[in-house]
Structure 1
Amino acid sequence: MRKFDQIRGMALERKGSEAALEEAISAHDHARDISALGDDRILAEFSKRVFQAGFNWSVIEKKWDGFEAAFHGFDIGRNAFMSDEDLDTHLQDTGIVRHATKILSVRDNAIFLSDLAQEHGTAGRFFEDWPSSDLVGLWDVMKKRGARLGGSTGQYALRFLGKDSFILSRAVVRALSDAGVLEGKATSKGELRKAQEAFNAWAEETGESYTRMSRILAMSVPD
């Protein structure tokens, strides 16, 4: 497996300078203490990424005030009890994207977060305490217990929440393949585990965060 210093050197060469590389890394670093967030903000972030999946992200951003209003500020209790009448109201609301299964995911993820809050005090505490050395385990929990949070949707949700995490974007997967970590797509449990183990080894080697390493990997290969 390639040493991370070599990968960083490739990214530096592509960006042209230390300053340009650092600016590109920092632009996507949203690190914060998730336990300090209200669980409504976690539901809002999950919902935004679910609605953006397969859709133009900018459209969702422009409509986001409408989403906040329609879903009562993403109050966990209110959305966990979304009724058939509530669903009908949402499906007639032009202030949001009227996609029935995605709308229902707000209810299902409210239930998921409510359950986590009962188990851990707050859902934010659960996500904050989960070790970045087992992100693939966290992805699995989100996929099984949440709604539409598998794959890149859940990965981006964690990144924007502020979790120290890597994202298996096409660029990162390509960089991992070039580094001798993966063979093809990172879809099977075995390949996901290989990716996690590589990041864990590089974290020990460099002391870098998982988020920064993910960004450096993405920038080490052609766009």
Structure 2
Amino acid sequence: MGQTQQQEKEDIVVGRNSVIELLKGQRAIECVYICDDTPAKGQPISRIVAMAKEKGIPVKRVDEKKLEHMAPGLHHQGVAALAAAYEYSTLEDIFARAQGEAVFIILCDSIEDPHNLGAIIRTAESAGAHGIIIPKRGGVGLTPIVSKTSVGAVEHIPVVRVSNLVNTMEKLKEKGVWIYGADMDGQPWDKTDLKGNIALVIGSEGFGLSRLVKKTCDVILSLPRKGKINSLNASVAAGILMYEAVRQRG
């Protein structure tokens, strides 16, 4: 078994009582998986679902085969939870890291591919960004695959997970941060001032920026497209924009 597979297995908690105790604790949880098959029904499952929803943790309905794949050979009782590989930071941690510099933040709007998120975190740390913000729902969290793809960058840059990305964007604006979203119909990326307090928003792989996130951005930036494909990989687009900000900020 490879290192990533082994680590991912260790972050899977199975069984009704074990998952309930995990939900009672303080450890960050990426997702709770509930089997739709008959053995998984009953009062403990209803309690798990209610506890997860109260804490804002996504609950996914899956079949028996999925749970067996996640926890081979383990008695899962129709329920499993994926715990975060790392602890999340706070918004205050990001501003503290800036230490008086113009703050530089990356927001990920529903990035679903763990390899993309890992690559974005790796580039952000290299580019001197002060932190990453991701949503609790609709995107991948700090899974073992994200950690491995980041090549250890998750150890060196704060990653904040928020319940509402739009509300967080509004809080950043109140702190004097300008929000720049990456999308197809914006102004040229290399003719925009990125030297102050800024946050770059990168949309999902398939759909780009969500409607409310795009509406909340102060400026939309676009990269030129010369070929037939109408979009770039999310981590590639993020890297280009981050290093344009690095270039401008000296």
Say yes or no: TM over 0.5: no
TM-score by length of 1: 0.28
**Bigger strand share:** 2
**Bigger helix share:** 1
